[in-house]
Amino acid sequence: NGCFTQEIAFTLSTSTEMIPKKSKALLVTMIDFHPGIKSKLRPRKGAKKDTEKLHRALTELNYKVELHLDLDAKEILELYKRVATDEHGEYFVTVISSHGENGFIYGYDGEAVRLADIFTMFDPARCPQLA
């Protein structure tokens, strides 16, 4: 699949000073789906453009943005497990963009990921730095 990470450490402010990023944003977007999956999930044509706009907006708000595309269900859960233990700075924002239904989203492989499984990784007991 076509996953990649892009991190931006600094941005120019209006006064042209270099300001270190104080908060973290994680964007996880499914654009395409494995062609052999049984549910026949169609590519999400506008997802790439939406993700680019969101990335740009968060960067302008001084977030360090980490971007992942087309992850399978297992990779999504592993990513959030890792991120829950990271230092997040002042604020943490995450956006998951995919096909889904009430309470879950689909990974690149067409497998469902329960949103509750992700949310519990960030509860105060497991992720005290965000409490």
Give the predicted TM-score (pTM) of the model. 0.81
Residue whose token pair is 């360090």? 64
pLDDT tens digit string along 21-63? 689 999 999 999 988 776 678 999 999 999 999 999 999 999 9
Give the DSSP per-residue string, 43-83: P-TTHHHHHHHHHHHHHHTTEEEEEEES--HHHHHHHHHHH
pLDDT at residue 38 in the model: 64
Residue 20 clears pLDDT 90, i.e. is over it: no
b/e per residue 72-110 (b: at least 16 CB within 10 A) = bbebbbebbeebbeeebbeebebebbbbeeeebbbbbbb
Confidence of residue 106 (pLDDT cuts 50, 70, 90): very high
